[in-house]
Amino acid sequence: MEKVFGHPVSLKNVQTHFCPGCQHGTIHRLVAEAIDHFGVQQRTIGVASVGCSVFLYGYFDIDVVEAPHGRAPAVATGVKRVHQDRIVFTYQGDGDLAAIGTSEIIHAANRGEKMTVIFVNNTTYGMTGGQMAPTTLPGQKTVTSPYGRDVGIDGYPIRMAELLSVLEGTAYVARVAVNSPKNLLQAGKVIRRAFEYQVENRGFSFVEVLSACPTNWGMNPLKANERVESEMIPYFHLGTFKDIAG
Amino acid sequence: MSKRLFVKGNEAVAMGAIAAGCRYYFGYPITPQSDIPEYMSRELPRLGGVFIQAESEIASINMLLGASASGARGMTSSSSPGISLKQEGLSYMAGSELPGLIVNICRSGPGLGGIDASQGDYFQSVKGGGHGGYHLIVLAPHSVQEMYDLTILGFDLSDRYRVPAMLLGDSVIGQMKEALVPHPYVAPELPAKDWAVTGKGGRSDQKIVKSLFLGDGELEAHNWRLHDKYRLLKENEVRYEGVELDDAELTVTAFGSAARIAKTAIAMARREGLKVGLLRPITLFPFPEKAFAAATARCKRVLCIELNAGQMVEDVRLSVTRDADVYFYGRPPGAGSLPTPEELLEQIRKHYKD
């Protein structure tokens, strides 16, 4: 009998430390499935960022370098320039990539570094305890925006996928969500395509994944998924913003 | 006979790096060290290497972190304010036990300060600089030849101990031209970089380069391991130059450019019959503690000269014998504040017998 579903080879068979309803585990799996799909586990190097995603090496069975806060695209640049035939990806949260690391992501993308960036956007600083992120939605209450994000004071949530898509250096830029079976299946395809870009040495690929943080949002997992649909997707539109292959 | 060249100190650094097999350079322009990235941008592509002018000093040190974690010999260079920006990455490299060469051609501060020669970054260089409690290997050249030689030594020591190395020069030593005899690099036997990330490539274990240690006792053990390496450096890798110390009644100490001026002043003092010697630290970390203890066991007076308001003098005080007198003469940097040999001679006369 043909085996049609199993545990990804690139993912260790361990329990995650993530909170109930957190979607890092799901996104990890999608990334691992993409690595397995192209059979590149043995030549993939991950770059871990700070925050909830730092424990990348605990879940992925690949070589991993840990980067300082926001600097993963610069670290990955160093790795990829040395190991040009390896698959190099970063896995970063929104505080990491869209606040302290804005400079590094924009310039790595603009240089067209042949790497893949998985950007997990949950509109808050998760591990730090639910503070306002650059992606926090207008009116959203967090522990540092207790009256709700006021765009007159705090500015607007940054749409990173749209921002990066206008740079000449990017090859593939898309935004997906993992809050429903339909979106999850689409996210899997998009993440695979992002890795395909690197496997084919075509350029910089970027996938923003809308993700739930039930703990810091103060919601149960189901409500959190509903929030992704009703509040996040209307602001952070899903879709492919750039695909040089058309 | 080897070719004798007439080059700038900064060029000697770049030439030394290339001789030592460094093929990865990441940096950001800043005066007075920009000759280094300019040289590397010209030469590295021809050698199959990589030169990246990063968007910032922060990005460049992290590119070095990535290249080093990948097992490559790489470097970055900058000047004082840029080195401040690199401190986060330096702490991470130290915590992750990554080798690499960081060149600081100092200018004057604090803040934007000026572009004159300064030794105001001594504390920042030898006391950690970034967070968390670590050391770099710090080498202080005082000639163009040493800019070349110590660059090579920096790479080798850094690889041997997995401790980032800093070459600490200043705008005088970086910008001046003098003779250089570039010798061919003889690679010493160094430990294999079996910790580097390469992609598993069939290995059963995964390589993880990190500085996060959350388990009970893990971080303390990691820190003790780092400090054990610093202890080994103190035992095995101290370098200094002693000039006419045997009969000296006053030991002058200075490093880098200040030592060049001090050497002239000491020669003038000797002509006057004053028995003065020089103890010039070449490694600022590990500091030549034992050499100071030995020198002051016989001669109880030390005059420390620096191009700042007093930084290395603290390490001198910690290193001399208990009853030695330590005097200090320094000039915080700025246009026109470089001390003259005559000025230092006056200080030598003043402290010779008092």
Q: What is the mean pLDDT of residues A185-202?
A: 98
Chain B within 8 Å of A49 (Cβ-Cβ)?
Answer: no
Residue B261 sits in the same domain as residue B126:
no
In a domain, B220, yes or no: no
Residue B171 sits in the same domain as residue B69:
yes
Going by pLDDT thresholds of 50, 70 and 90, the confidence category of residue A64 is very high
Residue B244 to residues B13, B79, B204, B255, B306: CA-CA distances in angstroms? 29, 33, 58, 16, 20
pLDDT given for residue A122 in this prediction? 98
Residue B163 sits in the same domain as residue B270:
no
Residue B104 sits in the same domain as residue B251:
no
Beta strands A131-132; A124-125: pairing state: antiparallel
In a domain, B226, yes or no: no
Chain B within 8 Å of A54 (Cβ-Cβ)?
Answer: yes
ipTM of this complex: 0.97
In a domain, B208, yes or no: no
Residue B252 sits in the same domain as residue B176:
no
Residue B113 sits in the same domain as residue B261:
no
Residue B55 to residues A156, B62, B70, B179: CA-CA distances in angstroms? 25, 11, 21, 34
DSSP symbols for B209-270: E-----STTHHHHHHHHHHHHHHHHHHH---EEEES-TT-SEEEE--HHHHHHHHHHHHHHH
Q: Final residue of a domain: which of B127, B153, B180?
A: B180
In a domain, B19, yes or no: yes
Q: Looking at the DSSP assignment, which residues form a beta bridge with residue A174? A: A207, A240
CA gap B354, B349 in Å, rounded: 9
Q: Looking at the DSSP assignment, which residues form a beta bridge with residue B76? A: B102
In a domain, B202, yes or no: no
pLDDT given for residue A147 in this prediction? 98
pLDDT given for residue B353 in this prediction? 77
pLDDT given for residue B336 in this prediction? 86
- pLDDT-flagged residues of chain B (< 70): 1, 354
In a domain, B97, yes or no: yes
Residues of B in contact with A63 (CB under 8 A): 197-200, 206-208
Residues of A in contact with B210 (CB under 8 A): 48, 57, 64-66
- Model confidence pLDDT, tens digit, residues A203-218: 999 999 999 999 999 9
Residues of B in contact with A76 (CB under 8 A): 66
Range of the domain at B304: 241-351
Chain A within 8 Å of B58 (Cβ-Cβ)?
Answer: yes
Chain A within 8 Å of B232 (Cβ-Cβ)?
Answer: no
Residue B257 sits in the same domain as residue B108:
no
Residues of A in contact with B69 (CB under 8 A): 65, 75, 78-79
Closest residue in B to A46 (Cα) is B199
Does pTM surpass 0.95?
yes
pLDDT given for residue B1 in this prediction? 52
pLDDT given for residue B168 in this prediction? 98
Query: CB–CB of A107 and B59 under 8 A?
Result: yes
CA gap A193, B33 in Å, rounded: 43
Q: What CATH number is attached to the domain comprising B64? A: 3.40.50.970
CA gap B73, B101 in Å, rounded: 8
- Model confidence pLDDT, tens digit, residues A88-119: 999 999 999 999 999 999 999 999 999 999 99
In a domain, B190, yes or no: no
How many separate domains does chain B show? Answer: 2
Residue B129 sits in the same domain as residue B41:
yes
